[in-house]
């Protein structure tokens, strides 16, 4: 009985992240538009976009290989699994022990690996420019992300997200300098990983500075829908990770009552809204960087992460 | 502490095993490409996935494995190494304490650079359009070579999704070297691996693999059934710019340009020099990349310069008269006798 309940909750979590992720993007776009005194598209526009794309035929480049057609499903599956292993409204989900934070980051790395390959498949110059820049950004963002994981894991004594979230929620640690550095670095990495301003512009086409949109240029129809949904899931994943580690309030425990689960759900939606709002404010207030300034941005994130880890070695209280 | 040592040693040995598997697979793949096209230069390949689909498939598995990506084996040994690094605060020596996390960052950097390298290797050789007639005429390699590669690729997957078996097999080695071995993994439920304690960290490659497989299939089924499964072939879009020539594709060196610019500018003193012809001239524009290896400049070059200087000075000895040679031999003899006389 308990197994069935856990299984149902795990499935609910998988469906929840899938259903909420387009809403988060819609919310960010709406807030950005309102900040620019535009009316903006309706909140549910991303759902309409996905449905429209899914019902269209795929226009496939003549030279595209079988790999090009499989990659959207690989990317979607990898990102979806990674996103559903992050504790959102309830910790201790049935399968949360099957992959820790390092494995979740690595799953996203697999998705990116295949996306970069997709950029090269058709043999166009736009795809190549996107892929080569994506791997450059990844080569900086991954070590930075790992140093953040190290900092958090050394504080919490675990790389298991559920355990880490429970530890953070217990309030044993209080305020620590190294956690502050890790939070700052994590936000910087999240911005870079999700191809947001100032690293990349999610709303642009036909611009030599674009990265993510250049890689997916040859995709259309259901393939494009899956890739868009994956990047929406990825944004949701990063907001959820930041939420469950640095704002772990309201997350229901493993044996929570339905009421606690309802509170957890409400808290989760509130966290997403706050995260999306802050992202929109940040993006509105900052200009996009040149591609070759991104290393300085991510290098700063790496240094912050490394500093956080080293502080923990120097002192148990920092 | 002994448990951490056992974990680190197991991670190292497991990685050596994994490396031997995927590296062999990749070398077999490179050999198959060489056999079929006669080319070793990536810049002359491209589009092989259409001509050699099976080699491309197994080579791709090797690429994913060596880039330390889940659910294949390279990731498991990397993950175990990270778990060992996270135990480094227990270390007694301060120097090691500071060094080990930096090594962790370097390991993550090398994994990311390996992924970049293999996106380049696979993308430039197997994807895109053929750059030479040899690549356009390539033939699939023979069945025996394919069988060998499929075997190694299967081993990559098995070691990735059932790493517990391999960790247990390495237990006697760690036991004899550091006195203890990692906890027995085969007994852990759901075939997970748990290096220290479940609350600390666990990884289940099998479950991750099955999850990815199921959710990918669900997505494919749902979309094909409920939405559209139509497909139309058309020329590549490429933002509306027609590119008739395969030379407009990204090459291996253009793919590496951003990374070269970020890391190479200091490590290899990479300089990019673009020469534009003056206005009105029909001469082609030229682009050079200048790379210098600092190890060569500061470690080998001084020795080489010293040897060249000494040999040039000694060169005068070659053009002496017979009298001078005899005088030299005599002086040397006297000197040696003097040394013998003075030596106690």
A181-231 pLDDT per residue, tens:
999 999 999 999 998 888 888 776 656 667 888 888 899 999 999 999 999
**pLDDT of A301 strictly over 80:** yes
pLDDT band, very low/low/confident/very high, at A318 (cuts 50, 70, 90): low
DSSP state string for B85-106: HTTGGG-S-HHHHHHHHHHHHH
What pLDDT is recorded for position B111?
92
Listed in sequence order, the DSSP H helices in B162-204 are 163-178
* Mean residue pLDDT across chain A: 89
Listed in sequence order, the DSSP H helices in B194-241 are 205-226
Compute the distance between CA of residue B82 and CA of residue B7 in angstroms, rounded to an integer: 10
Which residue in A3, A86, A93, A110 has the most chain B C-beta atoms within 10 A of its own C-beta, making it the best mutation to test that interface? A110
Q: What is the enclosing helix (H) or strand (E) of B54?
A: helix B53-66
Please name every residue paired with A29 in a beta bridge, in sequence order, or none if there are none: none
**pLDDT of A279 strictly over 80:** yes
- B66 upstream amide cis, omega within 30 of 0: no
Q: Which residue has the higher pLDDT, B140 or B99?
A: B140
Q: Give the residue on B whose Cα is nearest the Cα of A229.
A: B219
Tokens 């504080």, residue located: A155
Asked whether the beta carbons of B188 and B197 are under 8 A apart, the reply is no
B294-312 pLDDT per residue, tens:
888 889 999 999 999 999 9
Range B61-87 average pLDDT? 93
Compute the distance between CA of residue A203 and CA of residue A206 in angstroms, rounded to an integer: 10
Cβ neighbours for B188, distance < 8 A, ≥ 6 positions apart? B164, B194, B202
Cβ neighbours for A106, distance < 8 A, ≥ 6 positions apart? B68, B69, B70, B75, B78, B79
Structure tokens at A281: 């404010």
How many Å from the N-terminal Cα to the C-terminal Cα in chain B? 56
Q: How many CB pairs under 8 A join A and B?
A: 284
Compute the distance between CA of residue B305 and CA of residue A310 in angstroms, rounded to an integer: 42
Cβ neighbours for A71, distance < 8 A, ≥ 6 positions apart? A114, A115, A117, A118, A121
The DSSP letter of residue B239 is G
**Beta-carbon separation of B257 and A132 below 8 A:** yes
pLDDT band, very low/low/confident/very high, at B145 (cuts 50, 70, 90): very high
Residues making up chain B, counted from first to last: 344
Range B69-80 average pLDDT? 93
What pLDDT is recorded for position B246?
86
Range A306-310 average pLDDT? 87
Compute the distance between CA of residue A22 and CA of residue A272 in angstroms, rounded to an integer: 12
Asked whether the beta carbons of B182 and B10 are under 8 A apart, the reply is yes
pLDDT band, very low/low/confident/very high, at B148 (cuts 50, 70, 90): very high
pLDDT band, very low/low/confident/very high, at B55 (cuts 50, 70, 90): very high
**Where is average pLDDT lowest: A9-13, A14-18, B13-17?**
A9-13
Outline where DSSP puts E strands in chain B. 231-234, 271-275, 286-290
> How many Å is the Cα radius of gyration of chain B?
29
pLDDT band, very low/low/confident/very high, at B184 (cuts 50, 70, 90): confident
| HSE toward the beta carbon, residue A306, CA cutoff 13 A | 21
**Beta-carbon separation of B237 and A153 below 8 A:** no
Distance from CA of A259 to the nearest CA of B (A): 26
In chain A, what are the domain boundaries?
2-314
Cα torsion at A153, A159, A160, A166 (round to 10°)? 0
Nearest to A123 by CA among B235, B36, B114: B235
Which residue in A98, A162, A303, A318 has the most chain B C-beta atoms within 10 A of its own C-beta, making it the best mutation to test that interface? A98
Range A242-249 average pLDDT? 89
What pLDDT is recorded for position B72?
94
Residues of B in contact with A151 (CB under 8 A): none
Q: What is the three-state SS of chain A?
A: CHHHHHHHHHHHHHHHHHHHHHHHHHHHHHHHHHHCCCCCCCCCHHHHHHHHHHHCCEEEECCCCHHHHHHHHHHHHHHHHHHHCCCCCECCCCCHHHCCHHHHHHHHHHHHHHHHHHHHHCCCHHHHHHHHHHHHHHHHHHHHHHHHHHHHHHHHCCCCHHHHHHHHHCCCCCCCHHHHHHHHHHHHHHHHHCCCCCCCCCCCCCCCCCCHHHHCCCCCHHHHHHHHHHHHHHHHHHHHHHHHHHCCCCCECCCCCHHHHHHHHHHHHHHHHHHHHHHHHHHHHCCCCCHHHHHHHHHHHHHHHHHHHHHHHHCCCC
Residues making up chain A, counted from first to last: 318
Asked whether the beta carbons of B76 and B159 are under 8 A apart, the reply is yes
The DSSP letter of residue B197 is -
The sign of the CA dihedral A181, A187, A188, A189 is positive
**Beta-carbon separation of A163 and B102 below 8 A:** no
**Which of B200, B230, B250 lies nearest to residue A158, judging by beta carbons?**
B200
Range A235-252 average pLDDT? 90
Compute the distance between CA of residue B227 and CA of residue B224 in angstroms, rounded to an integer: 6
Residues of B in contact with A302 (CB under 8 A): 105
Structure tokens at A99: 């992959």
What pLDDT is recorded for position B3?
85
Compute the distance between CA of residue A35 and CA of residue A284 in angstroms, rounded to an integer: 7
**Beta-carbon separation of A63 and B109 below 8 A:** no
Q: Which residue has the higher pLDDT, A95 or A307?
A: A307
Asked whether the beta carbons of A133 and A292 are under 8 A apart, the reply is no
**Which of A131, A145, A225 lies nearest to residue B119, judging by beta carbons?**
A131
**Beta-carbon separation of B75 and A106 below 8 A:** yes
**Beta-carbon separation of A107 and B246 below 8 A:** no
**Beta-carbon separation of B123 and A81 below 8 A:** no
How many Å from the N-terminal Cα to the C-terminal Cα in chain A? 45
Structure tokens at A96: 């949360």
**Beta-carbon separation of B119 and A142 below 8 A:** no
Structure tokens at B121: 């290797």
**Beta-carbon separation of B116 and A138 below 8 A:** yes
**pLDDT of B151 strictly over 90:** yes
Structure tokens at B141: 């390699």
Range B153-174 average pLDDT? 92
Nearest to A54 by CA among B220, B238, B232: B220
What pLDDT is recorded for position A166?
85
% of chain A at pLDDT higher than 70:
97
**pLDDT of A24 strictly over 80:** yes
What pLDDT is recorded for position A205?
62
Q: Read off φ and ψ for residue A59, nearest 5 degrees.
A: -100, 110
Q: Is A174 left (phi over 0), alpha (psi -120 to 50) or beta?
A: left
What are the C-alpha distances in Å from A162 to residues A96, A141, A257, B277? 7, 24, 18, 62
% of chain A at pLDDT higher than 90:
56
Cβ neighbours for A243, distance < 8 A, ≥ 6 positions apart? A88, A268, A271, A272, A275
Residues of B in contact with A126 (CB under 8 A): 238-239
Q: What is the pTM of this model?
A: 0.91
Compute the distance between CA of residue A93 and CA of residue B256 in angstroms, rounded to an integer: 42
Q: Which residue has the higher pLDDT, B239 or B56?
A: B56
Structure tokens at B162: 């059932």
% of chain B at pLDDT higher than 70:
99
**pLDDT of B9 strictly over 90:** yes
Range B319-327 average pLDDT? 89
**Beta-carbon separation of B119 and A146 below 8 A:** no
How does strand B286-290 pair with strand B271-275?
Answer: antiparallel
Q: How many Cβ atoms from other residues are within 10 Å of residue A43's Cβ? A: 14
Nearest to A14 by CA among A191, A165, A237: A237
């Amino acid at each position: 009985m308990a197994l069935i309940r856990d299984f149902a909750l795990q499935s609910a979590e998988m469906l929840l992240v899938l259903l909420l992720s387009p809403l988060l993007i819609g919310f960010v776009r709406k807030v950005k538009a309102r900040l620019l005194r535009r009316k903006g598209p309706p909140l549910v526009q991303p759902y309409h976009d996905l449905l429209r794309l899914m019902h269209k035929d795929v226009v496939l480049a003549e030279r595209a290989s079988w790999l090009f057609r499989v990659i959207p499903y690989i990317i979607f599956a990898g990102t979806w699994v990674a996103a559903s292993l992050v504790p959102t409204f309830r910790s201790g989900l049935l399968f949360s022990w099957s992959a820790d934070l390092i494995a979740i980051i690595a799953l996203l790395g697999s998705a990116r690996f295949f996306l970069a390959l997709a950029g090269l498949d058709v043999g166009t110059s736009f795809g190549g420019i996107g892929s080569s820049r994506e791997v450059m950004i990844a080569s900086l963002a991954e070590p930075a992300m790992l140093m953040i994981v190290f900092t958090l894991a050394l504080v919490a004594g675990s790389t298991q997200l559920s355990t880490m979230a429970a530890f953070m929620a217990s309030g044993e640690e209080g305020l620590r300098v190294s956690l502050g550095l890790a939070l700052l670095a994590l936000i910087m990495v999240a911005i870079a990983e999700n191809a947001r301003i100032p690293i990349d512009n999610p709303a642009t086409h036909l611009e030599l500075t674009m990265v993510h949109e250049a890689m997916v240029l040859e995709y259309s129809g259901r393939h494009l829908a899956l890739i868009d949904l994956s990047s929406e899931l990825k944004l949701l994943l990063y907001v959820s990770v930041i939420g469950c580690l640095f704002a772990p309030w309201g997350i229901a425990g493993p044996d929570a009552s339905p009421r606690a689960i309802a509170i957890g759900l409400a808290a989760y939606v509130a966290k997403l809204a706050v995260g999306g709002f802050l992202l929109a404010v940040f993006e509105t207030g900052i200009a996009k960087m040149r591609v070759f300034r991104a290393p300085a941005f991510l290098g700063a994130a790496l240094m912050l992460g490394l500093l956080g880890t080293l502080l923990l070695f120097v002192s148990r209280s920092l | 502490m002994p448990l951490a040592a056992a974990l680190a040693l197991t991670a190292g040995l497991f990685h050596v095993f994994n490396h031997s598997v995927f590296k062999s697979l990749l070398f077999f793949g490179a050999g198959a490409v060489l056999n079929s096209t006669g080319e070793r230069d990536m810049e002359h390949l491209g589009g092989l996935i259409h001509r050699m689909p099976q080699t491309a498939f197994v080579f791709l598995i090797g690429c994913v494995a060596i880039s330390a990506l889940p659910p294949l084996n390279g990731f498991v040994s990397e993950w175990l190494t990270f778990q060992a690094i996270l135990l480094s605060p227990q270390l007694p020596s301060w120097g090691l304490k500071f060094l080990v996390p930096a090594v962790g960052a370097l390991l993550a950097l090398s994994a990311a650079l390996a992924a970049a390298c293999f996106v380049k290797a696979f993308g430039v050789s197997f994807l895109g359009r053929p750059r030479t007639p040899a690549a356009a005429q390539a033939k699939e390699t023979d069945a025996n070579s394919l069988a060998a590669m499929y075997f190694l690729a299967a081993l990559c997957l098995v070691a990735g999704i059932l790493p517990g078996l391999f960790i247990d097999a390495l237990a006697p080695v760690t036991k004899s070297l550091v006195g203890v071995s990692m906890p027995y993994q085969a007994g852990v439920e759901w075939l997970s691996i748990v290096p220290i304690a479940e609350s600390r960290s666990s990884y289940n490659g099998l479950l991750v693999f099955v999850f990815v497989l199921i959710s990918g299939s669900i997505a494919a089924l749902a979309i094909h059934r409920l939405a559209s499964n139509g497909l139309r072939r058309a020329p590549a879009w490429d933002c509306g710019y027609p590119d008739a020539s395969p030379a407009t594709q990204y090459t291996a060196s253009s793919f590496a340009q951003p990374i070269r610019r970020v890391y190479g500018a200091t490590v290899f003193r990479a300089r990019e020099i673009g020469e534009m012809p003056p206005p009105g001239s029909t001469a082609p524009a030229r682009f050079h990349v200048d790379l210098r290896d600092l190890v060569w400049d500061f470690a080998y070059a001084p020795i080489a310069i010293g040897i060249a200087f000494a040999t040039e000075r000694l060169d005068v000895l070659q053009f002496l008269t017979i009298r001078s040679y005899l005088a030299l031999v005599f002086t040397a003899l006297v000197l040696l006798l003097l040394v013998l006389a003075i030596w106690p």
